[in-house]
Amino acid sequence: MANLLSYVLFLVLRTYAAPPEYIQVWPGGSTPAPGDVDNETVTPSLVPPPGTSKHKPHSIIIGVRKGGTRALLEMLDIHPEVAAAATEVHFFDWDENYAKGFEWYREQMPYSYPNQITVEKTPGYFTSPVAPARIHAMNSSIRLLLILRDPTERVISDYTQVYFNRLENHKPVQAIENMLVKNGALNTRYKAIQRSLYDVHMRNWLQHFPLEQIHIVDGDTLIHDPLPELQRVERFLDLPPRIVASNFYFNQTKGFYCIRSDGHERCLHESKGRPHPPVNSTVLRQLRLYLRQHNRNFYRLIGRTFNWQ
């Protein structure tokens, strides 16, 4: 009897010490020895906290790539009534995932309590020609979040991410000017430039959703003063105001705001906020000139302007 009571007490303590997302129960009921956790043959089953379940998203951060989607999700996750998906699911923009069906999609979501909304983010949705119609087919009244930054800076940030990814994988890299210019002219077919044509992609979304269902977050403002942008998102999602100024602190070393929540502090991954490479001034001027008309078209579409160069 004493052994049984000890085992029950052990299970209770382990349950309450587990992360809120799930409780790990190991095969056989025993905790693995140190070093065994990384062994692929030792796999815990995940038991959801009582009273939780998985739901398809109530809101989706649809983009844009290198616009600040990760920062937005991490900051929104401060809110106690938000359950954020941990990874980018790529359900609506990748055919192989979409073919798996909505039930598969729901299973990729986090466990949430009845008072929480589920939020997913996949930046590739915004520039996908098929994502708007597919999301509309799932939920025509869903609320969409779109975070944008200066499109020229976004192009350079896009290049920077690919540049470092290729370096880490020991692949050859090219100077940014070689990507931006082809045969002496601006390479408008360069994917990074195509992703910054906000007006082109927005027209596709507005064919399926009214503008009132798409809340646009100013990514440049979010970096320098996150609270007002997060408060606007709370109102858009009908969330009670819970995010406050003390949830953010400026990290002098990293050069951007980090998060303080539940007694813990965390910053975005070191891959975020990497310094941009210098760009030839003539090439940069060509890029800005090309994007300027697209920016004006975008302003007319949404009835709003931004301080983009």
Q: Which residues are documented as binding site for 3'-phosphoadenylyl sulfate?
A: 66-70, 149, 157, 257, 272-276
Please count the helices (runs of H) and the strands (runs of E) in the chain. Answer: 12, 14
Q: Which residues of 289-308 are buried (b: 16+ CB within 10 A; e: fewer)?
A: ebbeebbeebeeebeeebeb
Q: Which amino acid is at 245?
A: A
Of residues 129, 132, 127, the one with CA closest to residue 155: 127
CA distance 90 to 162: 19
Catalytic machinery residues: 66
Instruction: Indicate the annotated binding residues.
Output: 66-70, 149, 157, 257, 272-276
Q: Are the C-beta atoms of residues 193 and 180 closer than 8 Å to each other?
A: yes
For residue 236, give both structure tokens. 């858009």
> Could you tell me the end-to-end alpha-carbon distance of the chain, in angstroms, rounded to an integer?
74
Which is it for strands 117-121 and 59-63: parallel, antiparallel or unpaired?
A: parallel
CA atoms of 121 and 99, how far apart (whole Å) = 19
Whole-angstrom Cα distance, residue 232 to residue 47? 35
Report whether 236 contacts 165 (CB < 8 A): no
